[in-house]
């Protein structure tokens, strides 16, 4: 019982909240790149944050239910529909929940904006776990089977998902090597675009006017890094993604604040970005606010999803 | 000596030291305190990062606590030491020896004859970065053409360091040989080698390699 991958889309992986607490052993965090959207999909499926969902990048795909299966989608808006065995189609909004009868498919198209759409099911997809997580960096392929228990969900759009419109700039804190920047102001005054060779490991930025140079330090020793670290390498900046390695060798000039980390997962090649520094105290306050808001949203929506089943 | 501590983003701190051993002892001292809300203490060379869960600890008070900890508070005992049996039959052994101007036997004696400190774990889950190599083994840059797959257990050198591939992976270091042991089981969360530990390679023959294949370290 579960979901059959008919068309894997462009790059679709199974993700949950990853493997926190094992960086000392070289284990990346991993998990959903846009954790707020995963949490929303989980909540629409009646779950607390965390059960494994599909993370679809830029384009959805097609998935066939091999049993009655509740599904919930959230994240980047894509055109989506449930296709019945007789070929009739029922549109599915993002975000919303719905359910597939055995034999029905959900088809999801391309995102015009944003990068990642999540498809969750109650209890999550039961693919293999290690170190407490089912997160896998390898994309699913046509013919893969994603086990999941049978379930149903009410067809429901969440009332007013309060996704606060973020400021234009990504907010950053100076990193350990900020002082190595030849011109720190350039990081915030320059405009960048997301380069095409960007993935879950990191976003490579292309500068528009001028490169970012750092004082060269011969034989720099690698140091610990976490998702959101901004490294300067060869005049370019790289923003490390959710599945980045645990150590970095390039100068670590800045760090994206925790409250803005999910925004990294919503950026797509070509998107413009800029940076703005904030104080550590402000970053922590924004982090706290964001976590509280997401927690209450998750509780409210998950409760509604469970109530909807009567 | 004071601990140079700075924020690493808004949920972590980075401590930097002048010597690898100070970083190790500080990281051990932090771990020994079992502070609530710590997610990770990551040691790498002369620095250590402390990642915290802001739901479980006040970061300002954690910062004060971390500042008050010094390397000298760390355990005085020697770090754990792992002896790694190793068959020196790697595909790059002859080439590495030639480029370093050594006979194979000299290279093996220099690599196997001493303890190395594990400075960090990374690149792959459970991959130990260890060193520093003696002068005569230093200076080989990474291969120009990294291998697309290096077998699990491969022992390799590059620059001033030596490492062990815990799982098959692409790799650009020079392969000197293989250990028959499983030095980590990431899927089971078993990582016997930790940053700060010491490792030493012991040359073995093909029979011992065969007899101990897949044994756990």
Interface of A with B in 60-89 (CB under 8 A): none
ipTM above 0.85, yes or no: yes
B5 reaches A (C-beta below 8 A)? no
pLDDT (tens, 9 = 90+) of chain B, 217 residues, equals 567 899 999 999 999 999 999 999 999 999 999 999 999 999 999 999 999 999 999 999 999 999 999 998 888 788 899 999 999 999 999 999 999 999 999 999 999 989 999 999 998 999 999 999 999 999 898 888 889 999 999 999 999 999 999 999 999 999 999 999 999 999 889 999 999 999 999 999 999 999 999 999 9
Residues of A in contact with B14 (CB under 8 A): 176, 223-224
A295 reaches B (C-beta below 8 A)? no
| Chain B interface disruption, residue of A17, A22, A26, most B CBs within 10 A | A26
Q: Does A224 sit within 8 Å of B10, measured CB to CB? A: no
Establish, for the pair of chains A and B, how many residue pairs have beta carbons separated by less than 8 Å. 112
Q: Write out pLDDT tens, residues A55-70.
A: 999 999 999 999 999 9
pLDDT at A166: 66
pLDDT at B3: 74
Q: Does A288 sit within 8 Å of B188, measured CB to CB? A: no
Cα distance from B204 to chain A (closest Cα, Å)?
27
pLDDT at A164: 59
Q: Write out pLDDT tens, residues A158-208.
A: 876 655 566 789 999 999 999 999 888 889 999 999 999 999 999 999 987
A248 reaches B (C-beta below 8 A)? no
- Give dist(CA A141, CA A11) in Å, integer: 9
Residues of chain A with pLDDT under 70: 160-166, 209-210, 216-219, 309-310
CA distances (Å), B90 to each of A50, B150, B151, in order?
Answer: 43, 11, 11
**What's the residue count for chain A?**
310
CA angle B103/B106/B107 to nearest 5° reads 90
| Chain A interface disruption, residue of B4, B7, B9, B14, most A CBs within 10 A | B9
Q: Does A284 sit within 8 Å of B10, measured CB to CB? A: yes
Strands (E), B90-164: 116-121, 128-131, 147-150, 154-158, 161-164
HSE on the CB side for A4, CA within 13 Å?
Answer: 12
pLDDT at B142: 85
């Amino acid at each position: 019982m579960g979901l059959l991958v008919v068309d894997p889309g462009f790059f679709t992986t199974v993700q949950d909240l990853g493997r926190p607490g094992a960086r000392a052993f070289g284990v990346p965090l991993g998990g959903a790149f846009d954790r707020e959207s995963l949490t929303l999909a989980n909540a629409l499926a009646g779950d607390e944050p965390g059960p494994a969902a599909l993370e679809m990048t830029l384009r959805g795909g097609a998935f066939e239910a091999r049993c009655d299966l509740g599904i919930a989608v959230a994240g980047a808006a894509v055109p989506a529909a449930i296709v019945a065995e007789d070929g009739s189609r029922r549109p599915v909004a993002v975000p919303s929940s719905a359910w597939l009868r055995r034999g029905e498919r959900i088809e999801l198209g391309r995102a015009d904006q944003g990068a990642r759409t999540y498809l969750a099911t109650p209890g999550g997809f039961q693919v293999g776990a290690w170190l407490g997580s089912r997160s896998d960096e390898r994309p699913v392929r046509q013919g893969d089977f994603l086990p999941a228990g049978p379930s149903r969900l009410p067809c429901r759009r969440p009332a007013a998902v309060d996704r606060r419109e973020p400021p234009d700039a990504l907010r950053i804190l100076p990193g350990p090597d900020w002082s190595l920047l030849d011109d720190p102001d350039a990081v915030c005054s320059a405009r960048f675009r997301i380069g095409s060779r960007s993935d879950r490991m990191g976003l490579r930025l292309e500068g528009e006017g001028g490169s970012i140079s750092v004082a060269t330090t011969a034989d720099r020793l690698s140091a610990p890094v976490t998702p959101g670290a901004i490294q300067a390498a060869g005049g370019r900046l790289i923003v490390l993604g959710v599945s980045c390695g645990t150590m970095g060798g390039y100068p670590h000039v800045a760090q994206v604040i925790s409250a803005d980390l999910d925004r990294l997962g919503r950026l797509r090649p070509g998107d413009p970005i800029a940076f703005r520094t904030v104080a550590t105290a402000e970053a922590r306050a924004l982090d706290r606010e964001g976590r509280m808001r997401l927690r209450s949203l998750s509780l409210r929506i998950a409760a509604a999803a469970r109530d909807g089943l009567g | 000596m004071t601990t140079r501590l700075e924020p690493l983003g808004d949920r972590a701190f980075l401590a930097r030291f002048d010597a690898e051993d100070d970083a190790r002892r500080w990281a051990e001292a932090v771990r020994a305190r079992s502070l609530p809300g710590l997610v990770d203490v990551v040691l790498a060379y002369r620095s250590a990062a402390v990642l915290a869960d802001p739901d479980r600890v006040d970061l300002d008070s954690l910062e004060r606590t971390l500042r008050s900890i010094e390397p000298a508070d760390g355990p005085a005992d020697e770090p754990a030491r792992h002896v790694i049996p190793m068959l020196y039959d790697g595909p790059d052994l002859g080439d590495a020896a030639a480029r370093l101007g050594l006979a194979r036997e000299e290279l093996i004696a220099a690599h196997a004859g001493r303890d190395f400190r594990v400075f960090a774990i990374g690149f792959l889950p459970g991959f130990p970065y260890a060193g520093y190599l003696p002068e005569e083994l230093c200076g080989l840059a990474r291969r120009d053409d990294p291998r697309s797959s290096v077998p699990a257990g491969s022992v390799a050198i590059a620059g001033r360091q030596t490492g062990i591939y815990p799982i098959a992976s692409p790799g650009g270091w020079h392969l000197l040989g293989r250990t028959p042991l499983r030095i980590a089981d990431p899927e089971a969360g078993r990582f016997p080698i930790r940053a700060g530990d010491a490792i030493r390679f012991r040359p073995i023959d093909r029979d011992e390699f065969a007899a101990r294949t897949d044994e756990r370290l």
